[in-house]
Amino acid sequence: PRSIYLSRHGESQFNVEGKIGDSLLSPNGEKYMHALPALIKDNIGDAPLTVWTSTLRRTIQTASELNYPKLTWKSLDELDAGVCDAMTYEEIEQAYPDDFANRNEDKFNYRYRGGESYRDVVVRLEPVIMELERQENILIIGHQAILRCLYAYFHHLPQVDLPYIKIPLHTKLTPKAYGCDEERCIILS
């Protein structure tokens, strides 16, 4: 059976600063980038693999030392936070208190001003999922919100829980496997 591996990008500079949005990797993230080829080899061996990333710097950089065919998907870009891009959650709460409360109230449906909701992301991921269904082994180097949506799809998890699924950054380099009917959908963290 084929496998779908999900992994978040390495820690980014914005992750360190508590900001949402795109930036390059932090020194820690670069360590993960260097460690990733061996981690993948340990888990996947010599099976054929294609690596998918988003068009954002932190996923492309994380995948840069992987020696497999690669594809970048705009549809895999992180949930667009619109006017809140590059802000911290504290800054968002101060600048847009109502929005902040609404998001806590209904995280799946809340749409950032000028940006997206989790519901929007689920819709735009449809072509990615259709293509995933037809492919062999795929490793996705992705983003927190995106991987939550994909993981919830393959594990049939309810929408209300989806925005809270834990998709860790690289805290340790051990794989966690979960059964997934015939095909396997695994979070590497």
Catalytic residue IDs:
8-9, 15, 58, 78, 143
Nearest to 5 by CA among 186, 133, 189: 186
Interface with ligand F6P, residue 140, by CB under 6 A: no
Residue from 63, 144, 185, 187 in contact with ligand F6P (CB under 6 A): 144
Q: Interface with ligand F6P includes 163 (CB under 6 A)?
A: yes
Closest distance to ligand F6P from the beta carbon of 47 (Å): 29
**Count of H helices and E strands in the chain?**
8, 6
**Binding of residue 76 to ligand F6P (CB under 6 A):** no
Q: Which stretch binds ligand F6P (CB under 6 A): 30-38, 91-99, 139-147, 181-189?
A: 139-147
- Closest CB to ligand F6P among residues 2, 111: 111
Q: Which one among 145, 150, 162, 187 touches ligand F6P, defined by CB under 6 A?
A: 145
3-state helix, strand, coil in the chain (%, to 5): 45, 15, 40
Number of residues that bind ligand F6P (CB under 6 A): 9
Residue 42 CB-density burial (10 A; 0-12 exposed, 13-18 middle, 19+ buried):
exposed
Those residues with Cβ within 8 angstroms of residue 81's Cβ, 6 or more apart along the chain or in another chain: 20, 21, 87, 112, 115, 116
Would you count residue 79 as binding ligand F6P (CB under 6 A)?
Answer: yes
Residue identified by tokens 């084929």 is 2
In this chain, which stretch among 28-36, 60-68, 138-146, 174-182 interacts with ligand F6P, using CB under 6 A? 138-146
Nearest to 170 by CA among 5, 3, 9, 40: 9
| Neighbour count for residue 13 (Cβ, 10 Å) | 16
Minimum distance from CB of 163 to ligand F6P (Å)? Answer: 5
Residues at the site binding ligand F6P, with contacts judged by CB under 6 A: 20-21, 78-79, 81, 143-145, 163
